[in-house]
């Protein structure tokens, strides 16, 4: 078995975004998640 390349993987499922997350009405929630992830680095 090959060890993973990353010690941590985060998956964010953006409800109501379909294929274009930046135009979704829920995009603020997605960007809040991205900013929270980046702040934790």
Mean pLDDT by 10 residues, the chain (41 residues): 77 85 89 92 82
pLDDT of residue 22: 85
pLDDT of residue 39: 95
DSSP letters along 1-41, please? -PPPS-S-------TT-TT-TTTSTTHHHHHHHHHHHHHT-
């Amino acid at each position: 078995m090959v060890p993973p390349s990353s010690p941590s993987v985060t998956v964010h499922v953006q409800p109501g975004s379909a294929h274009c997350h930046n135009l979704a009405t829920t995009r603020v929630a997605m960007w809040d998640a991205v900013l929270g992830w980046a702040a934790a680095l």
